[in-house]
A and B are shown apart, each in its own frame.
Chain A
Amino acid sequence: MSLKAGTKLEKVLAAGQFALTAEIGPPRGPDTEEVLKKAEILKGMADAYNVTDNQTAVVRMSSIAGSKLLLDAGLEPVAQMTCRDRNRIAMQSDLLGAAALGLKNILAISGDHQQAGASGKLKGHPGAKGVYDVDSIQLINIIKNMRDDGVQAGGDTLSAKPAFFIGAAWTPLGPPVEFRVLRLAKKVAAGADFIQTQAVYDIKAFGEQLKKAVDMGLTEKTAILPGIIVPRSAGMLRYMHNNVPGVVVPDELIARMKDAADPAAEGLKVTVELIEQVKELDGVKGVHLQAIEAEELLPDIIKQAGLSPRPEV
């Protein structure tokens, strides 16, 4: 079996095991304890942990630095890289730096626009100059060419080839919905080894989009990990349905959370059920689990979903 980067995530997938990734958002400061505290809670619970790149366009500790902290703490990171803040020169330089530090899983995404950011609570930097020199699909291809051919986007050769396992995002239910599977196909053609999706709550609608990907043979070429964000209240689900593009939450699920005596406990139950439902879908190779700013919820969910302990590979 020939591996591209030999990360734990890649090995779990290659062994045909159901993969599990989680997310650790870096702090808005240099405090390593924040990262290490989350690492302590989640260690051993997932195969790899995404470290976000200034998500919602709010300045945080860099993804690469956060990823290195995780690596040193014994967790395998997935360093996220957005196209918002860096041109192709800076991106490739950071990728070489990441590789030098031992970071091998990279998730290439467009990134939240600087004016869409800050979640309404923080100021962010809406006056920042967005870079978008390359888009996420071009970035995926740049990373692939660095890895496979040892060549930079401009054509110069690298002195050594970095080993990367390349991830991409997919919003299966965003409009124009008929194009979304083709966009996935482009990401796969560009070099995406694995895919983490926008949060999935509508299993039927997701299943229909996924089936198109299966029919096109895409799930043979890339590993799809549906995203699941732990719901904590009906209001949170309604907010996501109304305000987060590409997130579709069925009315019944919102009603169920609304009627629950203990919404937090119900949210855990819902998450476990969602994991079980996506696991049944043809073409799903794992799950990407997020509990935004509530990472402590994840261990129980992972255990209840029968996904602990993680496979040794």
Chain B
Amino acid sequence: MITAEWKPIEEMVGYLRGHRKVLLIGCATCVAECAAGGEREVETLAPLLAMAMQNDGNPIEIVSATLERQCEPEFVASIAEQAAEAEAIVSVSCGIGMQLVADTYADTPLYPGVNTTSLSIREEPGLWTSRCAACGDCVLGLTFGLCPVARCAKSLMNGPCGGTRENGMCEINEDTPCIWRLIVERATARGQLESLVEVKPPKNWSNSPAGGPKRMLREDLRS
């Protein structure tokens, strides 16, 4: 799922000074799964934000709504009335949903209530960890189903750096396993350690965010 995390309330307060009526919108999909922008989080954030604005000397009225999917135009269209009455919109969906709202209601300022952070899995209750970096050149077939692009701090393609801790965790985060240690373990378990010896050439990043904005065109779906 796409994960997001609340921005500091003070940052939201900074955006909202001068506005009196604000629409706070969540999304019931990814950001609900990662407990940042679903209905429950919207209902939690609304009074917190109202109180913070009150304490800041800028009381506001907050109207809230949670869309089924904030990245789909028909759902975003359903809040036209509330959007028209609001002086500003705060969205706690991912950056994709936020931009669709901003485009749809372009006359109304849109402020982010979250930072969109990763493509992660819910590993345990309350713990999400990276799985994908949308690099556009998937190597999982060479790395035993474990992604070194998203899960190695240096996105190394040819094995672990010297920073693997004695307990097999990554030097820069003691709670993150060295993914190359896990790749080596899985390769060893399959009796295929030798497959990791081949030198992997530099990656083609042109199909990743580093290559510029993505434009995926499927002619077969356009007629």
Q: Which residues of A contact B (CB under 8 A)?
A: 83-84, 88, 110, 112-113, 115-116, 130, 132-138, 141-142, 153, 169, 171, 174-176, 178-179, 182-183, 185-186, 189-190, 198, 245-246
Contact status A175-B197, CB under 8 Å: no
| Among candidates B156, B157, B162, B164, residue contacting A176 with C-beta atoms closer than 8 Å | B164
- Return 9 A-B CB contacts under 8 Å, by A number: A88-B202, A132-B155, A135-B154, A135-B158, A136-B156, A137-B158, A141-B201, A176-B185, A245-B163
A190 to B158, CA, bound (A): 11
Contact status A179-B162, CB under 8 Å: no
Contact status A175-B202, CB under 8 Å: no
Residues in A with CB closer than 8 Å to B200 are: 137-138
Distance (whole angstroms) from the CB of B18 to the closest CB of chain A: 30
Residues in B with CB closer than 8 Å to A132 are: 154-156
Contact status B158-A113, CB under 8 Å: no
Distance (whole angstroms) from the CB of B22 to the closest CB of chain A: 30
Residues in A with CB closer than 8 Å to B165 are: 175, 245
A161 to B19, CA, bound (A): 64
A176 to B163, CA, bound (A): 11
A153 to B205, CA, bound (A): 14
Contact status A175-B166, CB under 8 Å: yes
CB of B109 closer than 8 Å to a CB of A: no
Interface centre among A88, A141, A190, A246 (most CB of B within 10 A): A246
Residues in B with CB closer than 8 Å to A246 are: 162-164
Residues in B with CB closer than 8 Å to A179 are: 159-160, 180, 184, 193, 196
Residues in B with CB closer than 8 Å to A153 are: 202
Residues in B with CB closer than 8 Å to A174 are: 160, 162-164
CB of B199 closer than 8 Å to a CB of A: yes
